[in-house]
Amino acid sequence: MWLHSQIRRWTWFLIVGLVLSGLTAIPIQSDVALGRALLGEDMSLGGRLPLHVVDWLRSLDEGIALTSSRAPFMFYGTDWLAFGHLMIALVFLGALADPVRNRWVYRFGMIASLLVPVWAAVFGHLRGIPIWWRVVDASFGVFAFFPSWLCHRWTAELERSEGAR
C-alpha cells in the first residue's frame, strides 16, 4: 500500500508541475507585467539585483512589448508549448490508473527530463539566452527526473510483489 501511495503522490506532483508549467506559458505579457510590478519599473528590485540580471529582464520586457505590438501571432508558439505540457500531463493520468501497466510513462518522463538540459543548452545558445537563465530552464528537467525515476523503480517493485502473490 505504501508503494501505491508514493507512486500516486509523485505522479500527481509531475502532473501538477506539467500543468502549471504549461499554463504559465500562455499569459507571457501578464507574467512580465507582474514581474515589473514586483521588481519595480526599472526591474532591479530596488537596486538589489545584479546588473546582468536587470539587463536581461529589461530586454525581455522590451522584446515582449515589441512582439505584442508588432507580431502578436508569435505568441501562438507558446500557446502550443502550453498545449504540449497539458497533453504530457494527460499521459501521466494513465500511470495513475495503472502504474504497473503504464510504467513506460515514467521511463518516458526520465528520458524527457534528461533531454531538457540538452535542449536548453543548445537552443539557449543559438537564441542568445544567458547561461544562468538556461540553468533555470534546465532545472525543470532535473526536478522532474527524480520523481519519474522513483515511480519507475517503485512500479517495478510493485510488479514483483504482485507477481509473487
pLDDT in tens, 71-128: 999 999 999 999 999 999 999 999 999 999 999 999 999 999 999 999 999 999 999 9
State the residue range of the domain holding 93. Answer: 2-164
Q: What is this structure's pTM?
A: 0.91
Counted domains in the chain: 1
pLDDT digits (tens, 9 = 90+) for 48-64: 999 999 999 999 999 99
Neighbours of 127 (CB within 10 A): 8
Packed helices 131-164 and 2-23: angle between N→C axes, nearest 10 degrees = 150
